[in-house]
Amino acid sequence: MGTVKTSHRELPMDKIRNIGIIAHIDAGKTTTSERILFYTGKSYKIGDIDEGNTQMDWMEQEKERGITIVSAATTTFWTPQIPGSLFTDEHRINLIDTPGHVDFTAEVERSLRVLDGGVTVLDGEEGVQSQSETVWRQADKYKVPRLCFVNKMDKLGANFQHTLDDIHEKLGAKTAVVAYPIGAENTFRGVVLLLERKALIWAGDETGAKYTEEDIPADIKDEVEAERAKLLESICETDDTLLEKYLSGEEPTVPELKKALRAATIAYKLVPIYCGSSLRNKGVQPLLDGVVDYLPSPMDVPPAEGTLPDSEEKTTRAPDVKGPFAGLAFKIQADPHVGKLTYVRIYSGRVDSGSYIYNATRDVTERVGRLLLMHANDREEIPFAEAGEIVAIVGLKDTKTGDTLCDKDHPVVLEGISFTEPVISLAIEPKTKADQEKMGIALQRLAEEDPTFKVKSNHETGQTLIAGMGELHLEVLVDRMKREFKVDANVGNPQVAYKETIGKEAEAEGKYIRQSGGRGQYGHCFLRIKPLGRGEGYKWVNSIVGGAIPREFIPAIEKGVKEALENGVIAGYPLVDIEVELYDGSYHEVDSSEIAFKIAGSMALQSAVKAAAPIILEPVMKLEITTPEEFMGDVIGDVSSKRGQVLGTAQRGNVRVITAMVPLAELSRYVTILRSMTQGRASSYMEMSHYEPVPGNIADKIINKETN
C-alpha cells in the first residue's frame, strides 16, 4: 500500500475519498458543499448562496445565477465523529466539482470519470427531479457508487417517504436508509442513525451548531424499529454469511453490518440514504462519516482502462504508487494567480514537481512546473503526488481535457472523456479592432477550458460562430468573455445546429480526369453509402480487392469523403449517420495522384448522397415543465404549437409536471416565455434528447434560411 505525502500530511491511499456531489439545480449542492467545507475545517466562514457569497463559486456571474461550475477539485480532511464508525482516523476527501445545470452536462461526465464515489443531493420536497434522473443514469454508466442525501427536510412540504418512493420508482435504486429523519418541515430536528439506534439532535440552526446524542423520541420508536428491520434485511440480502445468521434469528453486529453495507455500496447493490437540512446545518456530519464509511477509496475501484498508444491493444493501470505514472487531465482552468491549471487524476505511480511527463494522447513531452493541492480558499504547493490523488499541475502547455499523462517509458492512453456535439450556435462580432484581438484570445481560452464549447469562423461571411450545449451555456460564456476579458461584442440570435443524413442506400461514381498536355490527373472510385442508426456518426469501409486502386491512394479518397461530409447537399449542414463503402475504381500508372483521388472521393460522395434521399435532422429536446394546475392548459397548448409532443403529465404535491419532446428550434427564449405565460410560477428544464428528421415545410424554411 502506498503512502500519500504532502507537505503536512501523510495518508495511505485507502484513506482517500474522491467524491463529487451530484444534484439537480437548486437541490442544495452549493449549500451542502459549503457545509462540508466548513465542517472539514477548511472554510473560515459559511457563505450563504442567497447572499451571493460562497467559497466555491468565485466567478462573478455564477454568484449572480447561483450556479457552480468552477473549482475542479477541493481537498479537505475529515475524521469520522460518530462512535461506531467503521473508520476512526483522518481521511482526505477530495471534493470534485460537478455542475448543477444540465447545459453543462459535459462537465458532469468529466467529473464522473475521475471520481470514485458520489453523493446525490435531492430536494426533500421536490423528490427526484428529471435532471437527477439524467445524472443518475450517467453515474450508472461510469459505475460510480453513491450515497443519497435527502436535503431540505426543513422545507414546507418536505416528505422523506415520498422522496424514498421516488428513488425506488424513478431511479430504480435499492436503498439502505441509515439516517432517518426526526420531524419534518419546521419540526425537523435531527436524524436517527438506525444501525446504532442513536438520535442526533441539533438544538439550533446556527452555523456550526453542535448536535447532542439522545434517546430515540418515544413517538417514533415504532417506525424507527420498522425501518431498522428493513435496513437489516436489505443489508443481509447482499451477504450470504450475514443472511444465514439473520435467518437463523441471530442479529449480526453493527460492525458486521457496516462492513457488508460498505461492500454492497461499492458493488452498486445498495445506496445508503442520509437526510438533513444543509441550510439549517443539520445532518451533514453523519453524511461525511458516510462518505468515509461507505464510499470507495481509490484502491476499491477497478484499475483504469486504456490502450497502448497507436494501437488497439488494451492495458490497465492499477492503483499502485509503485507502478508507472499515469493520469488523466480532466479539467483545464485559467487561474488569475498562477496561469493555466491542469487538474489531473492520478491512477498509478507518482509525479514530481519539476519533472517531465509524457502526453500520450498528443505525443508531446511536458514539464511539470509546480504541483498544487487546491483547498477551499488557499492552495498548497506539494513536491510530488501519487496514485489516487487529484492535483493541479502548473506549467503544461499542450495538454487538453481528456488527455492522458504518463511515464514515457510506459506509455498508455487511458479511456478518454466523450463529449456531446454542440446543438446551438450564435454569431459574435467584436465592436472594435482592439476587441477583435482580445476576443480571439478570450475564445481560445474559454474553449480550452470547456471542450463542449466550439469556436468556428464562417468563411463565407467572415463571422465568428460560437457553439455550445444550450442558450444558457452560450450566455454564460459570452458573459465571461465580456467580464473577464473585457471584450465588447455584438451577439447574434442563437442558431440551431442542424445535421443532414440519408434516407436510403445509394451508389455513385467519382471520376476526376484531366489530360491536357504535360502530366495529367487521374482519380476514379465507386462508393456505396448506407444509412446508419441515429447517433452512430460515420463509418468507413474499404472493400477494394485485387488492387483496383493502389493502397497508397485509399487514405486520400477517405479524406475527400470526410471533407464532403462536412457540407451536406441540402443546406450545407454536416452529414451524419452514414456508412461509406469504397468498393471499386481504377487508376492510371502515370497520372494518378493523391489530390486526384481526393477530389474523386468528394465527387462520388456528393453524387451518392443526392441519390440517397437526403434529409435534414434537427435536435429535439426533452422538456419538463413544473406548473401550477391552473396553467396546465396554456402550457400544453403552447407546447403543441411548438411542434411538441406531450409524453405525460404527473401530479407532484399541488403542481403538475409535464414531460414533452420539443424541437430545439422552437424553444428559443423558452424560459422567458414560460414565465410570462404563468406569472412566473412555472419552471422548466430541458436537455438534448436526440436528432430527428424535420418535417418538409420546415425543411424548406431551413433551406431558404427563413428560420431563426
Name the residue nearer to ligand GDP (CB basis): 6 or 76: 76
Report in angstroms how near the CB of residue 457 gets to ligand GDP at its nearest: 35
Secondary structure percentages of the chain, helix, strand, coil, to 5: 30, 35, 35
Interacting residues toward ligand GDP by CB under 6 A: 23, 25-31, 49-50, 66, 68, 100, 151-152, 154-155, 277-280
- Judged by CB, which is closer to ligand GDP: 157, or 628? 157
**Residue 117 dihedral angles phi and psi, to the nearest 5°:** -150, 160
**Closest distance of CB 200 from ligand GDP, Å:** 16
Nearer to ligand GDP, 155 or 642 (CB): 155
Classify residue 592 by its DSSP letter. B
Smaller CB separation from ligand GDP, 35 or 113: 35
User: What does 393-432 look like in DSSP terms, one character per residue?
Assistant: EE--SS--TT-EEE-TTS--EE-----PPP-EEEEEEESS
The nearest distance, CB 27 to ligand GDP, in angstroms, is 5
Q: How far is the CB of 278 from ligand GDP (least distance, A)?
A: 4
Cβ 209 to ligand GDP, closest distance in Å? 13
Question: Using CA atoms, how far apart are residues 136 and 139, in angstroms rounded to an integer?
Answer: 5
Helix (H) or strand (E) holding 595: helix 594-610
Task: Quote the least distance from Cβ 23 to ligand GDP, whole Å.
Answer: 5
Measured from the CB atom, is 62 or 407 closer to ligand GDP?
A: 62
Considering the complex, state which of residue 472 and residue 661 has its C-beta at the smaller distance from ligand GDP. 472
Looking at the Cβ atoms of 52 and 303, the one nearer to ligand GDP is 52
Task: Please list, in sequence order, all residues whose beta carbon lies within 8 angstroms of the beta carbon of residue 37, skipping any fewer than 6 positions away.
Answer: 43, 55, 56, 74, 76, 95, 376
Q: Where are the alpha helices (DSSP H) in 219-253?
A: 221-236, 240-247
Nearer to ligand GDP, 66 or 217 (CB): 66
Residue pair 148/274 in contact (Cβ under 8 Å)? The answer is yes
Give dist(CA 582, CA 688) in Å, integer.
34
Which grid cell sits at 311?
A: 494501437
Cα–Cα distances in angstroms (integers) from residue 436 to residues 19, 442, 462, 486, in the given order: 41, 10, 12, 11
- In the bound state with ligand GDP, the residue whose beta carbon lies nearer, of 126 and 581, is 126
Q: Is there a contact between 343 and 394 (Cβ–Cβ < 8 Å)?
A: no
In the bound complex, what is the minimum distance in angstroms from residue 41's beta carbon to ligand GDP? 20
Residue 494 C-beta: closest distance to ligand GDP, Å: 24
| Distant-in-sequence, close-in-space partners of 408: CB < 8 Å, separation ≥ 6 | 356, 357, 358, 365
How far is Cα 310 from Cα 509, in angstroms, rounded to an integer?
Answer: 33
**Pure H helices in 450-517:** 471-484
Give the strand order in the sheet containing 413-414: 314-317, 304-307, 413-414
Q: Where are the alpha helices (DSSP H) in 267-366?
A: 284-294
Q: Which is nearer to ligand GDP, 18 or 151 (CB)?
A: 151
Q: CA-CA distance, 437 to 487, in Å (whole number)?
A: 9
Helix (H, G, I), strand (E, B) or coil at 225: helix
Contact 189, 201 (CB under 8 A): yes
Shortest Å, Cβ 197 to ligand GDP:
25
Contacts of residue 545, Cβ cutoff 8 Å, sequence gap at least 6: none
CB of 28 to ligand GDP, least distance (A): 3
Minimal distance, residue 305 CB to ligand GDP, in Å: 32
Q: Amino acid identity, residue 181?
A: P
Whole-angstrom distance, CA of residue 312 vs CA of residue 438: 42
The answer to whether residues 684 and 611 touch, using CB atoms and an 8 Å cutoff, is: no
Tell the smallest beta-carbon distance from residue 677 to ligand GDP (Å): 24
Grid cell digits, residue 524: 476514379
Nearest CB to ligand GDP, comparing residues 76 and 425: 76
Q: Which is nearer to ligand GDP, 27 or 442 (CB)?
A: 27
